[in-house]
Structure formats: C-alpha cells, structure tokens
Amino acid sequence: MKNKSLKKINYHNAIIPESVSQYAKQPLYIIISLWCQQQKKWVNRNDIAQAFSMPERRASFQLSYILSRPNYIHFRSRLQTQPGMRHPCNEIWVERVIIESMKNKTKSSYLPDTKSRRTIMGSYRSRVGNGMSGSKDVWQTLVMMRSAKAEGGDE
C-alpha cells in the first residue's frame, strides 16, 4: 500500500495512506477511523502507528479519542492480550463513520454561557436556600419581640 504525505500543518508529520487521502481536510481521528473501517478487521495502536508512520504513543492517543466519540464513529471495542505483552491493549472494529461538513454544522439549541457572566456570590449562585426565604420580616419580628421583653422586664 502506497502512502501519500500531506501538508504537515494539522497532522504533525503523520503520513496519510493513499486510500484515505481524499479526506485530508477532515480531523486526523476521522481519517484514522475511515482507514480502520476499510481494514474490516480488529485494529490496534500498533497497526495505526505503522500505517500512519506515527509513534505508538500518539496512535494510542488517537485510538482513545476515537473511543470517546461514539456519536460520530460506530465501532466495537475489546481488550486483547497479545503474546509477549503483559498488559492488554484496546482493539477496535469500525463499522461506520459519520462525516459532517463544517459548512453544514449548526447549533441545535442555544445554551447561554453562564460562567462568563458576573454573579453575586452566596445563596443566589447555588440556588440553595439559607432558611430565610419567604420570611422577609423575621428579623424585624425578632427585634420587636426582644424589645418588648426588654421593656416588660424593666417595669
């Protein structure tokens, strides 16, 4: 299989296989997922590292990123212990990759950014009551009761 080197801007010296080179404008994890789908077999980080000429550690990071994107990539995963290795490694079998065009991306709902707004600290921020809600005049009532006792005690 021939490899085709692309612009090294987004891929940091990764070499993209020619079979998925038409998706060069997509993120690297999508390209790797499409390549895995073409393999039609269980793929691990070593296979990805060899096909994309990247370090195994980086291939492992890409594999974990793929595993955290089940909305865009439909896959099966398993832990497989290979001969001569102490620890099991993740393997995936990619069944389908959903590619969304950047132009067609729209937000489904607007969620305001509440963290950037300045808020008043205290019970208003956490919406936890302080035991005084609904009793606005409690303090004045207590003061009046105390002053009534004090006036009655002096007599």
Per-residue pLDDT of 64-94, as tens digits, reads: 999 888 888 999 998 888 777 778 888 999 9
Does any domain span residue 141? Answer: no
The reply to whether 15 falls in a domain is: yes
Residue 8: pLDDT over 50: no
Amino acid 136: pLDDT: 65
Q: Which of 51, 43, 45 is nearest to 93 (CA)?
A: 43
Predicted pLDDT at 5 = 43
Is 56 contained in some domain?
Answer: yes
Q: What one-character-per-residue DSSP string does 111-142 give?
A: ---SSSS----SHHHHT---S-TT-TTHHHHH
Identify the residue with better confidence: 61 or 127: 61
Asked whether residue 106 is assigned to any structural domain, the reply reads no
Q: Which domain holds residue 13?
A: 3-97
Q: What is the pLDDT of residue 102?
A: 45
Once rounded to an integer, what is the mean pLDDT over residues 37-56? Answer: 93
Q: Is residue 80 part of a domain?
A: yes
Q: Is residue 39 part of a domain?
A: yes
pLDDT-derived band at 117 (thresholds 50, 70, 90) equals low
Does residue 145 lie in a domain region?
Answer: no
In which band, very low, low, confident or very high, does the pLDDT at 115 lie, cut at 50, 70 and 90?
A: low
* Residue 55 host element (H or E): none
pLDDT at 10: 43
74: in domain: yes
CA distance linking residue 84 with residue 66, whole number of Å: 26
How many structural domains is the chain composed of? Answer: 1
Considering the entire predicted model, what is its pTM?
A: 0.58
Q: What is the CATH number of the domain that holds 66?
A: 1.10.10.10
